[in-house]
Amino acid sequence: MSEKGRIEKPVLAVDIGGTKIMTALFTSGGKMMAREVTPTLAGESAPTVIERLCRAIDSILEHNNLVMARVAGIGVACAGGIDSTNGVVVTPSPNIKNLVNVPLADILREKYGVGVFIVNDASAAALGEYRYGAGRGVKDLVLFTLGTGIGGGIIADGRLYLGARGGAGELGHMTVDVNGPACGCGNTGCLEMLASGRAVERDVISRLKKGEKSILLNMVNGEIEDITAEQVGAAARNGDPLALEVLARAAYYLGIGMVNVVNIFNPEMVVCGGGMAELGDLLIGPGRRMVNERAFSISSQAVRIVTAQLGNEAGVYGAAAFARERMTRGTV
């Protein structure tokens, strides 16, 4: 087959997260043709999770009357430490504990006979937002994924920056308080421990247990442990002082992280994605102010801090772009 034929075929993209596997098909022009979602059931063994992944791939092909021979290649976005050069999930995401040292690219390549390209999910989201979302037309961009945890991705001079082995962009694990709480990564005071959805929930729950008052108590009928970050956001929008204070604390630490990122990368844009970014100015506003006050002016004057545009589809958009670029240029 000619190089041109291979490039014009659709790309199959996969985003493997802690709760769901999203599959999608993209035209050569980057337009999404189809999308499906299935549970990851991430607590199961690696072979079982991979089997579910293959079933999800087979399903979207079947529903679109495609066979893999008519697909250019597979792009995979996956949580965890991903060695993109060798296509290996090296260190697991806390949410998908059993995927460790799994040569996922080789496994899928052997099964399907096409090129398979794997990238960290937050790096994929950065590439997705850069190509098709908030970052179109911007050459230097840093993405924070603000969800249950915090991830990140870096676009430097129009290219996805992965570092020496694929581990770059772990923005959630920069230290923002050396004496802060211990993190699952082995460090202390990581941004993720102080500004993620889980951190917000932890702070609210501990303060309520100490007897503080909040409308959140009514929202969950007294079941304090059930409180979600989303509910904290809703309470804050209703003016609840406790929710506002907890979010202000998270926003403060996120602001410290943003100042660091702006000083290090001098990005034209900082994009905030993930469920927590839907809190908008409640979470991101203080960061904007702190960047203005604390970052070097050469960098703070250049940066726009915005919310993402692709929602939970950023990962598959980015995985498709990653595969396409690796196939056409041999690199991203």
Stretch that binds Zn ion, among 182-190, 215-223, 225-233, 277-285 (CB under 5 A): 182-190
CB 14 within 8 A of CB 74: yes
Stretch that binds Zn ion, among 183-191, 202-210, 216-224, 318-326 (CB under 5 A): 183-191
Burial of 31 (0-12, 13-18, 19+ CB in 10 A): exposed
Shortest distance, position 180 Cβ to Zn ion, whole Å: 10
Sheet holding 304-307, edge to edge: 159-161, 150-156, 141-146, 269-273, 304-307
- Is 185 one of the binding residues for Zn ion (CB under 5 A)? yes
Task: Find the binding residues for Zn ion in span 154-173 (CB under 5 A).
Answer: 173
Stretch that binds Zn ion, among 108-116, 149-157, 186-194, 296-304 (CB under 5 A): 186-194
Shortest distance, position 276 Cβ to Zn ion, whole Å: 17
- Is 183 one of the binding residues for Zn ion (CB under 5 A)? yes
Shortest distance, position 27 Cβ to Zn ion, whole Å: 38
Shortest distance, position 152 Cβ to Zn ion, whole Å: 12
Binding-residue pattern over the window 118 to 157 for Zn ion, x denoting contact by CB under 5 A: ----------------------------------------
Stretch that binds Zn ion, among 23-31, 135-143, 179-187, 217-225 (CB under 5 A): 179-187
The smaller minimum CB distance to Zn ion, of residues 121 and 140, is found at 121
Number of residues that bind Zn ion (CB under 5 A): 5
Binding-residue pattern over the window 188 to 227 for Zn ion, x denoting contact by CB under 5 A: --x-------------------------------------
Shortest distance, position 222 Cβ to Zn ion, whole Å: 32
- Residues forming contacts to Zn ion in the complex (CB under 5 A) are 173, 183, 185, 187, 190
